[in-house]
Amino acid sequence: MTVAIGTTDAHAKNHSFVRHPDGARLNLAPAYDVSMHEHTTVSSGRLALEVAGKDTIASIRVDDLADEGGSWGMAPPRAQRVVAQTLQAIGDALADIDRDAQPGVPAEAWENVEQRLGRLAGQLPRL
């Protein structure tokens, strides 16, 4: 998600977990401390944490996202599926969001996210 929306500040302390009611299981929180930095004129485009050994948003491709999932123990087909589902979910959220209710987010930020999402989605394998 951080690559698709342009969050360059996603360092380890900006990730969080949700504990299941049984107290024994955790899931990565769907969104935590999210901010679209990449659209600003002061952004270097460098990520706080690398993805598959790459540290700039512009250099990261869908395969890199899936490879990163694999490096965390996900089977390659599952990692590819998670990347595709995540990109779809972000696209759905962008279509549903009331942008007028987000007055602090300039049009350029939304356009930047849409372009990046389109670039990544265009790299998904055709089924």
Interval 39-48: pLDDT, tens: 777 788 888 8
Does residue 127 fall inside a structural domain? no
Does residue 126 fall inside a structural domain? no
Residue 87's alpha-carbon distances to 3, 38, 64, 67, in angstroms, are: 10, 17, 14, 16
Provide the domain count of the chain. 1
Tens digit of pLDDT for each residue in 50-108?
Answer: 999 999 989 999 999 999 999 989 999 999 999 999 999 999 999 999 999 988 888 88
127, pLDDT greater than 70: no
Does residue 52 fall inside a structural domain? yes
Q: Which amino acid is at 58?
A: A
Residue 17 · residue 28 · CB < 8 Å:
yes
Question: Structure tokens of 91?
Answer: 């696209």
Q: Can you give the residue range of the structural domain that contains 14?
A: 2-121
